Amino acid sequence: MAASFEASSTSFTPLAALAGGLLIGLSACLLLLALGRVAGISGIAGRLWGAAAGDRAWRLLFVLGLLAGAWGAHALSLGPPALPAPGRLSPGWLAAAGLLVGWGTARGSGCTSGHGVCGLGLRSKRSLAATAVFVAAGMLAVYVLRHVVGVL
């Protein structure tokens, strides 16, 4: 039995969104100031295992911090439930979507956090173009999945 996810006006929590945004910005600034690294999650996680020991340590701590932050927000009821609401997408669709996101971040030399948070903050024209493309692609994907395919 599959249920669809219905967003409502009560699902937006401005204080939690503000706190999360401030923490993301703070962590991105600290990483840039301390190590001169951009907080692009796909690059940090993707190069975690192939990195040299000294480079691996900060990457591992960053990823563990992401997981700890998500767990802490859930424990304090500041974020979404631990597991998303069941939807009409099969595990195959979800796996395909994940692979496409990974492929896209490799082709675009970064992800939403690297380009959208850090790159825009650094006034990168390449990041502006990348952010415009992935926002437009996300909007198109939602439109197609909701109105053409009918799975959202």
Neighbours of 100 (CB within 10 A): 12
DSSP H helices, the chain, are 14-35, 41-46, 53-75, 91-107, 120-121, 125-143
pLDDT at 80 (0 to 100): 57
Q: Where are the domains of the chain?
A: 9-149
Mean of pLDDT over the chain: 81
Q: What are the pLDDT digits (tens) for 51-103?
A: 888 889 999 999 998 888 878 877 777 555 555 566 677 888 888 888 888 88
Look at residue 35 and tell me whether its pLDDT is greater than 80.
Answer: yes
User: Quick one: pLDDT at residue 9?
Assistant: 43
| Mean predicted confidence (pLDDT) in 38-62 | 87
With 80 as the cut, is the pLDDT of residue 5 above it?
A: no
pLDDT in tens, 122-139: 899 999 998 999 899 889
C-alpha dihedral over 82, 87, 93, 96, to 10 degrees? -30
- Res 116: pLDDT: 87
